[in-house]
Amino acid sequence: MSSADSVTKDLKVVNSYIKTVTMNSIPEIPVISQHLIGSGGKRIRPYLVIMSSRMFNVPKKDYVKVAAAVELYHSASLLHDDVVDNAKQRRGIPSANHVWGNKNSVLVGDFLLARTSSIIANMRNHDLLELFVGVLGHMAEGELIQMQLSHKPDLTEDDYFSIVKKKTAHLISASCESGAIVGNADQQFRKVLRRYGLLIGMAFQLIDDNIDYTSMSKVSGKDKWADIKEGKVTLPMTVALLRATNKEKAFLKRVIIEKKGKFEDYPKVHEIIKKYKGFDYTKNKAEDFADKALQYLNTLPPSLELDEMRKFTHSVVDRKY
């Protein structure tokens, strides 16, 4: 069995474990959990837990639990984000809040966070627990900052990177570092994987923000134009706002500020961003982050897992959905 095949097999075990820990006598909990978790997703966070854990010979029974906990953290954040954003779609299907309402979505998200905390606490590893408590704080801070800056066209590149780091990159970083922690690796290996995770997490989100404008919904599973509908200013838009003519800037600002955007405006937004190379700039930044991430990987001892993570790093910036 190839390394990739064995990871696929492990991810199936992770999914089975998630189903087990989200079973509950209150029907909304397993139904909403599986509606989201069972709808797909790239599973990059549990994948990275598995890869980093195997590097340090962590027993499968342990890394399956951590990988499941990471995916539950991520799923809980998506349930909460969709309520905050009043999203109608997630992964190509109606979002949980759209089907079951905001209250059910928030409470099931809270349940998933509680279940995650229980899994991590039962690992009896103080460093691991401290890591994920910190991540939870970062994610909440990132969502609050993004909410405060929504519909505001003056968001800077530094603001954007701060949000991405808190909302996305810290959890991906924790996914990488967790294997080193559970495997009792030394501080240097932990630092390498932590930094790698932060950098590849940044690259992943930058490409995601390009995809929001450029990919078809049926292919990506994302609701196309979701960011601009929700008033989120991401890097492609920031670049266009800096480079556009005054007339074009006025148009972009109107679209961002409006609480209920007009669908017919969105293709023009795409045209302006493309004209001023906002997508190219964002892709180049993502490639820079990925290149730096690879430099960290290259300091680790050779292994099949390391080879797989190098392939993964290249795939992050090449993906179209």
For residues 93 and 256, the model is more confident at: 256
What is the rounded distance in angstroms from the CA atom of residue 234 to the CA atom of residue 206? Answer: 8
- pLDDT at residue 261 in the model: 67
Q: Could you read off the pLDDT of 280-320 as tens digits, one per residue?
A: 999 999 999 999 999 999 999 999 999 999 999 999 999 98
Average pLDDT, the chain: 92
Q: Assess whether pLDDT exceeds 90 at residue 36.
A: no
Q: Assess whether pLDDT exceeds 70 at residue 269.
A: yes
Percent of the chain scored above 90 by pLDDT?
A: 77
Instruction: Tell how far CA 111 is from the center of its chain.
Output: 20
- pLDDT at residue 216 in the model: 56
Task: Report yes or no: 236 and 211 within 8 Å, Cβ to Cβ.
Answer: no
* pTM, two decimal places: 0.94
Degrees, nearest 5: CA angle 131-134-139? 125
Q: Assess whether pLDDT exceeds 60 at residue 1.
A: no
- pLDDT at residue 316 in the model: 96
Q: Could you read off the pLDDT of 59-94 as tens digits, one per residue?
A: 999 999 999 999 999 999 999 988 888 888 887 788
In this prediction, residues 221-241 reach a mean pLDDT of 85
In this prediction, residues 172-190 reach a mean pLDDT of 97
- pLDDT at residue 95 in the model: 86
- pLDDT at residue 223 in the model: 63
Q: Assess whether pLDDT exceeds 90 at residue 122.
A: yes
Q: How many CB atoms lie within 10 A of CB 260?
A: 5
- pLDDT at residue 2 in the model: 56
Instruction: Count H helices and E strands in the chain, helices first.
Output: 17, 2
Q: How many CB atoms lie within 10 A of CB 172?
A: 25
- pLDDT at residue 229 in the model: 84
Q: In which band, very low, low, confident or very high, does the pLDDT at 231 lie, cut at 50, 70 and 90?
A: confident
What is the rounded distance in angstroms from the CA atom of residue 86 to the CA atom of residue 163? Answer: 19
Q: Assess whether pLDDT exceeds 80 at residue 218.
A: no
Chain position carrying tokens 């961002």: 256
Choose among 8, 11, 41, 34: nearest CA to 220.
Answer: 41
In this prediction, residues 112-127 reach a mean pLDDT of 96
Task: Report yes or no: 269 and 228 within 8 Å, Cβ to Cβ.
Answer: yes
Q: Assess whether pLDDT exceeds 60 at residue 222.
A: no
- Name the least confident of 92-96, 184-188, 265-269, 277-281: 92-96
For residues 224 and 266, the model is more confident at: 266
Choose among 120, 81, 83, 110: nearest CA to 98.
Answer: 83
Exposure string (b/e) for 14-38, b if CB count within 10 Å is 16 or more?
A: bbebbeebbeeeeebbbbbbebbbe
Q: Assess whether pLDDT exceeds 60 at residue 262.
A: yes
